Structures are given as structure tokens and as C-alpha cells.
Amino acid sequence: MLNHHGDRMSPADDTKRSSDRESSPKSKGRNRERRPPRGPGLLWYMLVGLAISLLIASFVRAPTSDEIPYSELVRLVKQGAPEQNPDAAIELERTEMKTTLRVRYSNLRDIVIRPTEIVGKVDREILAPEDRKKGVETVSFRTARLGLNNDDNALLNLFLDNGFTNVRGGEPPSFWEEYGPQLLLLGLFVVVLFFLMRRVGGPGSAMAFGRSRGRMYAQEEIGVTFDDVAGVDEAVEEVREIVEFLKKPEKYQALGGRIPKGVLLVGPPGTGKTLLAKAIAGEAGVPFFSLSGSDFVEMFVGVGAARVRDMFQQAQQQAPCIVFIDELDALGKMRAPSVVSGQDEREQTLNALLVEMDGFSSNSGVIVIAATNRPETLDPALLRPGRFDRHILVDRPDIRGREAILKVHAKEVKLDPSVDLAKVAAMTPGFVGADLSNLINEAALLAARNNKEAVGMEELTEAIERVIAGLEKRKRVIGEEEKRRLAYHESGHALLAMCLPNTDPVHKVSIIPRGLQALGYTMQRPEGDRYLWTKAELESNIKVLLAGTVAEEMNCDDISTGAANDLDRATEIARRMVTEFGMSRLGPIVYRRASDTADGFPGFQTPLFSETTAREIDEEIRRIIRTALDDVRTILKKRAATLKAIAERLIEKEVIDQDELREIIDETTPGPTIVPGTEAAEPRSTTTDRQITRDDSEQLDAAEEENADRSETGEASENPPDQDARKLGE
């Protein structure tokens, strides 16, 4: 039990810490998911670069030779070969880089006549403009053959008649020389498009609208067996039948039996539901499909239903196998009434799941395992036999289960020989597997921070307080007046917890801020797991909650906002005592509110009792709180010296442990002192400090009944019931 200044955890709330991690550590190299394809490597960069190069070469050809018109080439040829007429030349105008050049061509040689063009070498000299002059340079030229002059013999005779003897005929380009680059470019585009469509069509991509996002784990990737699952022995025994069916289905089929189609794992977060499902697949040696209920939801209409159908199709292809759906409540919430039309897509997805679970036979080898921590929100049609036949509770572990889980997690850290895991398990009631895993990890980090060679009890104790209350904030500056108020507030909680029976022993009292809002806390630890609470225990816890406020009122002349959460929790306990537990003068009746509409869908809550009964409920809650306040005032007045001593020691040391707290109480209280319900005396239903006799109790009851009768007849009471109670308390 932990009592924050402004945030107290009470037993009636049954509020426990939880987390979303599993109950057992993952072994090294286990549970690896299939990795998505890696990014483009060197080969992809080469292919993309080649494609870009070919594209540029096809559409942006750089001029590698000078174009000479056919008529100008004939004029140059008719001037004679260079050997006969060295001065033979022509002058042309050409445009390069948006600049008009005056060019002189001469010394025509190395002529090749091709079917569609004439190529060769020629000397070029730029005459104008001045800034582009480079002198004489040798360049290649190209001349397209005209349609009327395609006679090779006549063209050859033209060159020979003018003295050109070095003239050759060229072969036409082959098919691959002419069309090869274009075909290669087209092929590259097809290959790139093929791989691109495969990548975008995978699970989780924007193009895979109707494909299931479930990830399949092969047997070697699961690596989890029942030996890795600790603290949930009853749940493990329940699912062993499923393993036997997957291993030896003929054993059940021969007798006409059928294995459940679906198994629903129900329990708080962090208790090991996912780990248990993986252990089933690991023991059975079958593939394991894992996905979340939210994976079926998409922005497009009809996608969820298509993914459900695709998931079951893939599962039947891999049968026998296990399909695990985590957070089933995201997919299988109760369907809305017909008047509500905003959830059609989600309902279609749920309908598809219902149909698919009815569609495959019980002997198909496909078993659906789902997990949720909100079974009350699931649709009844999903929970009926034939779909999820078996519901298995994966609850919080008891003290033996916590010890087993701690042993599993402790294998990964180096523990000091003095560590007692059984004691640690007793100090962590309500912890789930994920909390215990976090506890061991926090202790290991603290030991490493303190340069220790092994994790000891000191680190484990500090880790428990970190997990429960949060990080300690010693550097936060708190004024002296606020520090004094905090000391009296926490001293009131601690003193009442020590003096009253039926309360958990106090382990530590601190006024050092922790976490987000706790300025101080009183830590109470039960000595065992609790499943039931008696009326006396609930009354004692209400008094412990109210003690901080009364201590402030008596010693600081006023109360503060730090007790807001204490009052809230005390009122909630009193309300549940009256309306749910039958622990009040209204009798053993449950006053609950209607929360269902005619269609079975949660709607507005309406009370099932009259306004008069509601008024009586409120008055009974006030009576319980008022009586508790009177008792607390009586005890704190009687032990004012002890309260002051505890507060002064807190102001001085900021932290007091259990032994020091007992020492202070023994020194400042004459006669019998501590009456904790688990040590010095047997639990009792009334406090020894208040010393109210049976006659006083009967007198108080009579006074309240008399005032009630007077209120019904319109007469005013001379002393209200709270004043009568206060007089008796004094």
C-alpha cells in the first residue's frame, strides 16, 4: 500500500499497477520478426544509373560530329582531293550553343559511304567570331544522303573522278546496334517496375489494402516454451490440450471430439497473455501468426473485412497453425444499436470475423487465440461457443507466482547471494510479470550506477519504491511551512495505520517528493495476498486516509489541497460500502445503476432506485465519513505527543522506516501502544484507542434515530448527529 500526499492507493479500489510487457524475459535471439526488405544496395544504384544514362543518351544526343549539307559536300569534292588541290575548302555558317559561327572546312579524307549517310574526317577552322577561334582542328563530319542520290555507284564515281582514292563502303548497322539501347532501357524499366510492385504490395504498404498485416513467425523464430512462462500455472494447464491436439490430432478425432476453435485469454495488461500464446505455438511446433486488432482498421471502406478473409486464407495454407489477435477489443467491440450508423465499417469487419470463425471446421488445424483486458466490451456473438469456446483468465500472480517470475528474470542479472526473492515477492503484491521485469531491470541499473558488482536487496527495495511511487526528487525546493505541513500530514497517516487494527504494517514514511504529484508518502505493505475485505478493514482504511487531513487541521490550523485524493478515495470506499457491499444501515442491498439500453448497448446510466433512497445513500455515506473523522480526531488528540514526535523526526530526517517509527511510538506513548492488526494483537472491528463503550454506541444510534424521526415530522434537532458523535468522541 502506498499513500502519496495527494495520491493514495486504497485497498477498496483494488487498483493495481500494470504494464504492457510480458511475464517472462525474451531469450537472446528469440522472437525475431521477419525483417522487411532492406533498402537498395549497390546493384540497385548501378541499375538506376545505367537506366538514367541510357535515357539521356536516347533523348539528349550530344553532337559528336559536324553536319555538312549534301550540296556543300559535293561542292567540296568537286574542288579535288587534297593531294591535287591543297586549297580546296568551303565556308559555312553553323550554330553552336546559341552562337553563330563562320567555319572553314578543308582536307577531306577517310570517307565512308553508308546506305543512309556519308561520314569521314575534315579539318575545321573557326573564322568568326574572334573569341571562338581555335585554329585548325580535325573533326568528324556526317552528311545525310538525299533520297534522289542513293545510287552508290554514281556517288563512288563522283569521289573517284575528283581524285579521292581512299573511299570505303560501310555495312548497315545491325538490329542490336540500332535497337539494342532502346530494348535494354525497356527491360530495365520492366524489372524495376516488377520489384517496385512487389515491395509496395507487401504487408503494411499503402498498396496492400486488402492483405492481412499479420506477421508469421517460423518455429525457429518463436523460441518460447512453457518453461519460459511463470506465475500463471493454471492458465498453462488449460492450454496444454491445445498443444496435444496440434501434435496428435488423430487422438481426439478418433473419439469424435473437437478442439476449441478459439481461445480467449483475459487478464490485466502485462500478465503474459502474448507470451502464453507464443509458448503454445512453440510447444506445438507450428507456425504462429501475430497481429493486433487495430491492424484491420483502415481509412478505406471494406479493407478491414478483406484483411480478415486474407488472414484466414493464409492461415489455412499454413495449417496447422495458430492465429493470435492481440487487443481483440479494438476489433470485436459490441455492435451499436440500429439507430447509430457511424460504425458501419467496424461492424462489417466484425461480421467478417464472425463468418470466418464459423467457416473453417474444428479439424482444420487453425486455432485462433485472442487476448484482451476488456472482455466486457466484446460482442456476445463473438464469445459464444463455436467461436471462442474457451475463456482463460491470466490473472495477477500470487506470492508464489511472483517468486517464480522473479527467478526467471533474475537469470539475466547478477544477484548478490544475500538477495531473498521470496521476500521481494512478498513486498510486491499486485505486481504483474511486466512490473517484476521492470523491477529487476531498475535494480540492475541502480547497481551499475552505484558501481556495484552485483544487485543487492538495497537496490531491489529502492527499485520497488521507484516502480510504485516514481523517481525520488531530493533537489525540489519546498518551503519550511509546506515541509512542516507535509510532515504532519504523513505522520497522521502513519500513526493511525500503526494504532488501528485491520491495517497493513507501515514500511516507510517519507516527505521527499516522488513522481509527478506525490510530495510525500506513507508506504504500507500487506504480509500476504488479499482477496476479501471486511467491514472493519474498510473502516480502518477510511480512517487512515482521513488522518492526514485531521492532522493538518489540528496542528496547522487549516487543511490543504494535498488531501484531495485522500478524500476522494475515502468517499469512494464509503460509497461502495453502502451501494455494493451492503455494509451500512440500509441493509444488504445492492443499489446499482442501469447501464444497458434495450438493444444491449451501453447507454446512459439511470438509477434503479428512488430519489428518497438516493438521499438516504448520501446521508449514510456522510455518516460513515463523519464517524471516521470523529474516531481519527479522538486518537490524534490522545496521541498528540506521538504525532508531534513523528512529525519533528520527519522534518529532521525526511525518511523514517518501520523500526524507527515503532521506537518513537514506544517512547512517547504510555501503556499499551502499537496494535497493528497482524502483530501485537488479533484483528478487531473496533479501535482500542477510542474506548467507546457499548452504551455510548447505543446512545449514538438512538440520537441519530431520534433526529431522523424529528426530521420526518418537521421538528428540528437540538444537536445534529455529527455534534452528538463529536461529544461522544471527546
| Residues labelled catalytic | 490
Residue 413 in 3-state DSSP? coil
Instruction: Looking at 334-398, list the stretches that DSSP marks H as alpha helix, in order from N- to C-terminal side.
Output: 344-359, 380-383
Three cell numbers written together for 52: 538514367
d(Cα 504, Cα 306) in Å, to the nearest integer?
A: 55
Work out the number of other CB atoms within 10 angstroms of the CB of residue 524.
25
Please give the full DSSP string across 177-204, using - where no structure is assigned: HHHHHHHHHHHHHHHHHHHHHHHHTSTT
Q: Are 530 and 11 in contact (CB under 8 A)?
A: yes
Residue with grid cell 491470466, as numbered in its chain: 394
Find all residues with CB under 8 Å of 701, minimum gap 6, and list them. none
CA pseudo-torsion sign 461, 465, 467, 470:
negative
* 179-182: long-range contacts, CB 8 A cutoff, minimum separation 24: 181/54, 181/57, 181/58, 182/58
Q: Are 368 and 326 in contact (CB under 8 A)?
A: no
Task: For residue 7, count CB atoms less than 10 angstroms from its CB and return exposed for 0-12, middle for 13-18, buried for 19 or more.
Answer: buried
Residue type, 235: A
d(Cα 333, Cα 342) in Å, to the nearest integer?
A: 14
Three cell numbers written together for 720: 445534529
Three cell numbers written together for 643: 504525532
Find all residues with CB under 8 Å of 459, minimum gap 6, and list them. 443, 444, 446, 447, 450, 452
Distances (CA, A) of 644 to 555, 628, 673: 9, 21, 16
Residue 389 in 3-state DSSP? coil
Task: For residue 97, count CB atoms less than 10 angstroms from its CB and return exposed for 0-12, middle for 13-18, buried for 19 or more.
Answer: exposed
Three cell numbers written together for 407: 527467478
Q: Are 324 and 215 in contact (CB under 8 A)?
A: no
Please give the full DSSP string across 125-144, using - where no structure is assigned: EEEESGGG---EEEEEEEEE
CA pseudo-torsion sign 702, 708, 714, 715:
positive
Distances (CA, A) of 135 to 63, 107, 141: 20, 14, 18
Q: Residues 679, 685, 687, 691: what is their CA dihedral angle, to the nearest 10 degrees?
A: -130
d(Cα 603, Cα 340) in Å, to the nearest integer?
A: 12
d(Cα 124, Cα 112) in Å, to the nearest integer?
A: 19
